[in-house]
Amino acid sequence: MDVTFDMFIETEVPEDEVIISRTDLRGVITYVNDTFAKISGYSSEELIGRPHNILRHPDMPKSVYKELWDTIKAEKSWSGYVKNMRKDRGYYWVYAEVSGVYKNGELVEYKSIRSPVEKQMRVEMQKVYDKMREEEHEDWRAVMYLPYETGNRLIKEAHKRGVKVEELIGELI
């Protein structure tokens, strides 16, 4: 099996702030609040006008977004756990609620309001989505949580020995 080792930094979503975005009916971003921009690592200018999949994380199963779009196109509201990718390729988890914005009774846009996810639930959802991607035969990788220091020590030790991190792990177990 071809193994690669990467370390990504998780951004904690603050408890007391809401993360809001709106899109047109095709999913192109029309508005983000300051917290959204800060957490995603992009500026509002970089986000507005771009498709919302600019934040798509490869760990998210395709079927989750299919379900999201099927639900909102049927004019119902969707909620679920989302792992997003920041501009610096780090990530953050949110619990998102996506629903329609109506003007004179007509659906004109979509909006999403997000809240933080408990650490234990993030670990659980990562496993759920890893399994879904495996079952859906998508490109698959397992995600392992390591304390930051441990990850750093592994990378340094592998560098010192002139081997890849996955080779070092292979030697150790």
Q: Is 36 exposed, middle or buried (0-12, 13-18, 19+ CB in 10 A)?
A: buried
Q: What is the smallest separation between the CB atom of 36 and ligand FMN, expressed in angstroms?
A: 9
90 binds ligand FMN (CB under 6 A): no
Alpha-carbon distance of 69 to 51, in angstroms, equals: 14
122 binds ligand FMN (CB under 6 A): no
Alpha-carbon distance of 64 to 82, in angstroms, equals: 9
Q: How far is CA 154 from CA 26, 32, 91, in A?
A: 43, 38, 21
Alpha-helix runs per DSSP H in the chain: 34-40, 44-47, 62-73, 119-135, 148-161, 165-172
CB-nearer residue toward ligand FMN: 21 or 126: 21
81 binds ligand FMN (CB under 6 A): no
Q: What is the smallest separation between the CB atom of 168 and ligand FMN, expressed in angstroms?
A: 33
65 binds ligand FMN (CB under 6 A): yes
Alpha-carbon distance of 118 to 136, in angstroms, equals: 26
Binding footprint of ligand FMN, residue count (CB under 6 A): 17
CB-nearer residue toward ligand FMN: 58 or 170: 58
CB-nearer residue toward ligand FMN: 26 or 160: 26
Would you give the binding string for ligand FMN spanning residues 151-170, x where CB under 6 A is met? --------------------
Q: What is the smallest separation between the CB atom of 142 and ligand FMN, expressed in angstroms?
A: 21
84 binds ligand FMN (CB under 6 A): yes
Q: Is 135 exposed, middle or buried (0-12, 13-18, 19+ CB in 10 A)?
A: exposed
**What residues line the site for ligand FMN (CB under 6 A)?**
21, 23, 27, 52-53, 55-56, 65, 68-69, 72, 82, 84, 98, 110-112
